[in-house]
A and B are shown apart, each in its own frame.
Chain A
């Protein structure tokens, strides 16, 4: 089974800190995604990467950046954390569209609290 691992389950950071959320997948998937999940709003796409070193903005990229230096690892960076970035962050991966397995595989999430 594909596994997507997020390095931290819970994080507490101070306002203004630079925060790194790490995500690693072990099935050689081309596409990787970062979503944030908030009650009543569902999952909203922050950034995605369709290949190594390639990235595109999602629907809510402000205040975030990403890095994908290796195929298996996709990092989300909060340049200067703010309280409105307190949320659950979910990483996902999938094989390139057109291959047999289409569904996303999600990590267990990182619950980030910014104080």
Chain B
């Protein structure tokens, strides 16, 4: 079951913040976040495991609320290099090999 991401797109000026949400109707074991720049492969940013932990990558951080089956990605003080499409990938069970990906959120950061 594919998770639902929101918003579909966001436009920011450099230095602004944004939040991307990822929610599932099923209980989750872990959530991955990836960023894909135009014409390139998606790149792994971070993984969050069951337990409500928070992680960071540069000034990008994320949280995972397992009770609500949702994760949020926080882009803080955005830079031009943050532009791209962000995907969340969810895993439902510990023994699952596969991820189900959301439709993506396109982030455009302007100078």
Q: Do A and B bind each other?
A: yes
B87: chain A residues at CB < 8 Å are 42-43
Which residues of chain A have C-beta atoms less than 8 A from B94's C-beta? Answer: 97
Bound form: Cα–Cα A44–B3 in Å: 11
Contacts of B96 in A (CB 8 A): 97
- Contact, CB under 8 Å: A97 / B97: yes
In angstroms, Cα B101 to Cα A44, docked, is 7
CB contacts under 8 Å to A, within B31-90, are 32, 34, 40-44, 46-47, 87, 89
**Inside 8 A of B97's CB, which chain A residues have their CB?**
31, 48, 50, 56, 97
A92 CB → nearest B CB, Å? 8
Given contacts A40-B103, A104-B89, A108-B41, contact A45 B98 (CB under 8 A): yes
Q: Which of B1-19 contact A (CB under 8 A)?
A: 2, 5
* Nearest Cβ on chain A to B44's Cβ, whole angstroms: 3
Interface string of A22-58 (1 = CB under 8 A from B): 0000000001010100001111110010100000101
Within the assembled complex, what's the spacing in Å between the Cα atoms of A48 and B89? 15
Query: Which residues 77-115 of A sit at the B interface, judged by CB distance below 8 A?
Result: 90, 97, 102-109
Q: How many B residues, CB 8 Å from partner? A: 25
Number of interface residues of A (CB under 8 A): 25
Q: List, in ascending order, chain A residues with CB within 8 A of B41's CB.
A: 4, 90, 106-109
Task: Find out whether the CB atom of B32 lies under 8 angstroms from the CB atom of A41.
Answer: no
A33 close to B47 (CB less than 8 A) = no
- Whether the pair A42, B95 counts as a contact (CB closer than 8 A) is no
Min CB–CB distance A109 → chain B (angstroms): 6
- Min Cβ gap B18→A in Å is 19
Cβ of A31: which chain B residues have Cβ within 8 Å of it? 97
Question: Which residues of B lie under 8 Å from residue A97 when comparing CB positions?
Answer: 94-97
Tell me how far the C-beta of A63 lies from the nearest C-beta in chain B, rounded to whole angstroms: 19
| Inter-chain contact A45/B100, CB cutoff 8 Å | yes
Q: Which residues of A contact B (CB under 8 A)?
A: 4, 31, 33, 35, 40-45, 48, 50, 56, 58-59, 90, 97, 102-109
Residues of B with Cβ closer than 8 Å to A?
2, 5, 30, 32, 34, 40-44, 46-47, 87, 89, 94-104
